[in-house]
């Protein structure tokens, strides 16, 4: 595949994404927005999983942190957009900086367990601190800021465009980061932590920075989540959502950021389709997850990368060399 056809494909995809609100139904556009903000969480997850090999279950906790910060500030009329969103990002950065210190002290399954606990703590505070977070009733009535509600050709596409551009920007930034020297160091840690320490890198600081970056991406997802849904409820950040992010990441393949986006689209579509038939769609998603873990541990992207061209792309992006 040469350069020109590559750019043609990119242009077609970009045009299609821009045209979605006009050519597709409103349901599809809503679905796209939903997939986009959940995909940001999947990107946050895949960044940690693919670069340092740490599987985090605390990703939705940071979505919850920024969502709750905005919800609390706006329902109490303390601050409004864009200051509330800024405050939310500051809170996310602060908490992830603290959590990162703890999380750094573990790896492998210990990291999974620790992030599970950290996520459960945010969830518990959201649920128990009723005087501020309104407990199980959740906070309602957060309205989308005017800045995200402009019209193009008479269609209200503001929110979709804002989230689409943010999404593309973040994915591009994260992919660029994985190819930077920082990303290379992280991959070095993934392959052999002790060797990286021996070579004189500040391993725990690098891990900490990666953790904060991943949390920041999840926090940005939270800003869009709360403005789009308008409701902040503890169930948005419970363990089922952690599991959903994890499932999406594994579906797509643990070592791929694009795969995580793909996986999240599949999981979200499945959820909506199955929800029409049964309330207990998690059984089906769970069984599919089980099958993927047992029989196709590299996920969807593992199958795609069997293609030679895709394999060279994979090597270029994730291993830092052009030919394998």
H-only helix segments in 52-180: 59-75, 83-103, 109-128, 130-133, 158-179
- Comparing CB distances to another protein, the nearer of 30 and 106 is 106
> Least distance in Å: CB of 201 to another protein?
20
- Comparing CB distances to another protein, the nearer of 199 and 283 is 283
> Least distance in Å: CB of 181 to another protein?
27
> Least distance in Å: CB of 130 to another protein?
7
What size, in residues, is the chain? 324
- Residues with Cβ within 8 Å of 12's Cβ and at least 6 positions away in sequence, in order, are none
- Comparing CB distances to another protein, the nearer of 182 and 281 is 281
Widest Cα–Cα separation across the chain:
61
* Cβ–Cβ under 8 Å, residues 203 and 79: no
> Least distance in Å: CB of 177 to another protein?
23
Both structure tokens of 61:
């906790």
Binding site for another protein (CB under 8 A): 55, 101-102, 105-106, 108-110, 112-114, 116-117, 120-121, 124-125, 128-131, 238-240, 243, 246-247, 250, 280, 282-283, 285-287, 289-290, 293-294, 297
- Comparing CB distances to another protein, the nearer of 24 and 287 is 287
> Least distance in Å: CB of 285 to another protein?
8
| Phi then psi dihedrals of residue 158, to 5 deg | -50, -55
- Comparing CB distances to another protein, the nearer of 2 and 131 is 131
- Comparing CB distances to another protein, the nearer of 40 and 244 is 244
- Residues with Cβ within 8 Å of 314's Cβ and at least 6 positions away in sequence, in order, are 256, 301, 305
Under DSSP, the state recorded for 142 is: P
Burial 110-137 (b: 16+ CB within 10 A, else e): ebbebbeebbbebbebbbeeeeebbeee
* Cβ–Cβ under 8 Å, residues 85 and 244: no
> Least distance in Å: CB of 114 to another protein?
7
């Amino acid at each position: 595949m040469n350069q020109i056809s590559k750019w043609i494909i990119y242009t077609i995809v970009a045009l299609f994404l821009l045209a979605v609100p006009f050519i597709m139904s409103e349901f599809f556009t809503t679905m796209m927005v939903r997939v986009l903000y959940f995909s940001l969480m999947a990107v946050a997850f895949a960044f940690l999983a693919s670069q340092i090999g740490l599987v985090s279950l605390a990703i939705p906790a940071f979505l919850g942190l920024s969502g709750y910060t905005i919800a609390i500030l706006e329902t109490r009329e303390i601050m409004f957009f864009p200051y509330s969103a800024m405050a939310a990002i500051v809170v996310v950065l602060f908490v992830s900086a603290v959590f990162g210190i703890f999380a750094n002290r573990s790896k492998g399954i210990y990291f999974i367990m620790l992030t599970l606990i950290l996520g459960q703590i945010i969830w518990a505070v959201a649920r128990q601190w009723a005087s501020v977070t309104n407990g199980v009733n959740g906070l309602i009535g957060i309205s989308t800021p005017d800045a995200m509600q402009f019209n193009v050709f008479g269609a209200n596409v503001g929110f979709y465009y804002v989230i689409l551009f943010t999404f593309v920007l973040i994915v591009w930034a994260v992919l660029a980061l994985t190819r930077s020297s920082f990303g290379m160091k992280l991959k070095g840690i993934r392959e052999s932590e002790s060797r990286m320490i021996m070579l004189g890198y500040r391993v725990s600081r690098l891990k900490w920075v990666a953790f904060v970056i991943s949390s920041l991406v999840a926090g940005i997802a939270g800003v869009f989540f709360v403005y789009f849904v308008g409701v902040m409820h503890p169930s948005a950040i419970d363990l089922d959502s952690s599991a959903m992010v994890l499932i999406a990441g594994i579906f797509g393949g643990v070592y791929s950021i694009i795969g995580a986006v793909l996986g999240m689209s599949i999981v979200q579509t499945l959820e909506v389709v199955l929800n029409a038939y049964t309330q207990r769609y998690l059984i089906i998603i769970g069984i599919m997850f089980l099958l993927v873990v047992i029989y196709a541990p590299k996920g969807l992207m593992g199958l795609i990368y069997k293609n030679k061209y895709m394999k060279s792309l994979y090597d270029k992006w994730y291993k830092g060399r052009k030919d394998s």
